[in-house]
């Protein structure tokens, strides 16, 4: 829990004086674990947005940033702010159109990717886009929050940086905020650590401990969540009041084949649509086992109508994002069936 260390401790517990500059043993333990999982050098931050902001802070003024047209709303907001301040130019592209996205990656200084995207669950061809950006001299960062390193390893697919909101699956219990950026080289990790030190987005000691503890059950939680997600996605497809289901594990998902190439599982996030915004609100208001709440990746399932958030106008009005947790799959299904019944005629 220490913020400062006894002076002259050289050689005893490493050269540490002040936690914001020199880290604590707790942060380093977490960084070691996540670095091994993500095949790189991990740097922990106060939140996922803290980690993302540190990556954007590496850009020179006037840089060109490519990002998915569907990506986490907070990242869009940060990119829009920076563009307005004259810090960078943003090129939002549909990452499911590989030819268009490759062309955009070739003219970018930073290629920012998400796959599956939040919340549409679009799949990008990560090897093609990472190679295109890298070969053209861009820095390539992949937000790997939805997949986790157990299902997808961006650095192995060609990215320079994998970014996480550890607030979600890595922590896994909806009780903390923490972010991690994992660099493919010690030099890049050092640049990110410098951003953390000067901007001050350091992880909290308790949060760091809780993510380390959460990681011990990540495989179990994810396994349960994605098995239930696969079952529920299939059942939702057959439900008469559901107009569309998006889950990369469904054979007719447009990104299914690509997801199978670059992921070892399809994850615990589902998106589905009902006929209207009002019907989607009714589903959220009617669930009893599933929590009507924002965020995702917890042991408890959460559902949210994302189109109600600012900057999410591209989403269909009846679109619901559903994070599948560890409850019994039949309890989740019964809950969905009775909530959907409230939307009927």
Binding site for ligand PLP (CB under 6 A): 47-49, 72, 74, 118, 143, 145-146, 165, 167, 177, 179, 295
Q: Which is nearer to ligand PLP, 47 or 258 (CB)?
A: 47
323 close to 298: Cβ distance less than 8 angstroms: yes
Q: How far is the CB of 211 from ligand PLP (least distance, A)?
A: 11
Half-sphere exposure of 161 (CA within 13 A, CB side): 29
Q: Which two tokens stand for residue 123?
A: 């799949």
Give 111's strand partners: 66, 140
Q: Which is nearer to ligand PLP, 59 or 77 (CB)?
A: 77
- Which residue reads 């299902």 in tokens? 151
List all residues 6 or more positions away from 137 whose beta carbon is below 8 Å from its beta carbon: none
Q: Which is nearer to ligand PLP, 33 or 51 (CB)?
A: 51
CA distance 319 to 1: 43
CA distance 89 to 109: 10
- 280: DSSP letter: H
Put residue 14 in one of left, alpha, beta given phi > 0 → left and psi -120 to 50 → alpha.
Answer: left
CA distance 198 to 182: 18
Backbone angles phi, psi at 291, to 5 degrees: -90, 135
Q: How far is the CB of 145 from ligand PLP (least distance, A)?
A: 4
> 186: burial class by Cβ within 10 Å (0-12, 13-18, 19+)?
exposed
Which residue is at the shortest CB distance from ligand PLP? Answer: 48
Q: What share of the chain is helix, strand, coil (3-state, %, to 5)?
A: 40, 15, 45
List all residues 6 or more positions away from 300 whose beta carbon is below 8 Å from its beta carbon: 174, 290, 291, 325, 326, 327
For the beta carbon of residue 218, count every other beta carbon within 10 angstroms.
19
Q: How far is the CB of 32 from ligand PLP (least distance, A)?
A: 21
Pairing of strands 302-304, 319-323: antiparallel
Asked about 20 being catalytic, the answer comes back as yes
- In 3-state terms, what secondary structure has residue 149? coil
Candidate list 72, 305, 306, 321, residue with the active-site label: 72
Asked about 168 being catalytic, the answer comes back as yes
Q: How far is the CB of 170 from ligand PLP (least distance, A)?
A: 10
Q: How far is the CB of 268 from ligand PLP (least distance, A)?
A: 13
Helix (H) or strand (E) run with residue 64 in it? strand 63-68
Q: How far is the CB of 73 from ligand PLP (least distance, A)?
A: 8
Q: How far is the CB of 93 from ligand PLP (least distance, A)?
A: 17
Q: Which is nearer to ligand PLP, 46 or 258 (CB)?
A: 46
Active site residues: 20, 72, 143, 168
């Amino acid at each position: 829990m220490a913020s400062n260390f006894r002076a002259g401790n050289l050689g005893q517990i490493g050269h540490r004086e002040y936690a914001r500059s020199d880290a604590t043993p707790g942060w380093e333990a977490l960084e070691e674990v996540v670095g091994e999982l993500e095949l790189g050098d991990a740097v922990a931050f106060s939140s996922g947005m803290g980690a993302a902001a540190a990556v954007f802070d590496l850009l020179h003024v006037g840089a060109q940033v490519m990002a998915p047209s569907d990506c986490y709303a907070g990242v869009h907001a940060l990119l829009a702010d920076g563009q307005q301040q004259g810090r960078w130019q943003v090129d939002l592209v549909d990452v499911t159109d590989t030819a268009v996205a490759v062309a955009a990656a070739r003219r970018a200084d930073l290629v920012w990717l998400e796959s599956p995207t939040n919340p549409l669950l679009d799949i990008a061809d990560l090897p093609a886009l990472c190679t295109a950006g890298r070969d053209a001299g861009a820095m390539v960062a992949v937000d790997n929050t939805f997949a986790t390193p157990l299902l997808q390893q961006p650095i192995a697919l060609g990215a320079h940086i994998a970014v996480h909101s550890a607030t979600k699956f890595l922590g896994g219990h909806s009780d903390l905020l923490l972010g991690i950026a994992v660099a493919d080289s010690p030099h890049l990790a050092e640049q990110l650590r410098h951003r953390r030190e000067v901007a001050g987005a350091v992880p909290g000691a308790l949060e760091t401990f809780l993510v380390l503890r959460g990681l011990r059950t990540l495989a179990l939680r994810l396994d349960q969540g994605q098995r239930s997600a696969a079952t529920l996605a299939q059942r939702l497809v057959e439900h008469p009041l559901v107009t569309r289901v998006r889950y990369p594990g469904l054979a007719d998902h447009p990104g299914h084949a690509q997801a199978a190439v670059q992921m070892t599982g399809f994850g615990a996030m589902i998106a589905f649509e009902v006929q209207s915004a009002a019907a989607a609100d009714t589903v959220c208001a009617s669930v009893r086992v599933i929590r009507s709440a924002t965020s995702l990746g917890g042991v408890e399932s959460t559902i949210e109508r994302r189109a109600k958030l600012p900057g999410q106008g591209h989403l269909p009005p009846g679109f619901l994002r559903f994070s599948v947790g560890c409850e019994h799959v039949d309890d989740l299904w019964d809950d969905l069936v009775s909530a959907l019944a409230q939307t009927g005629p």
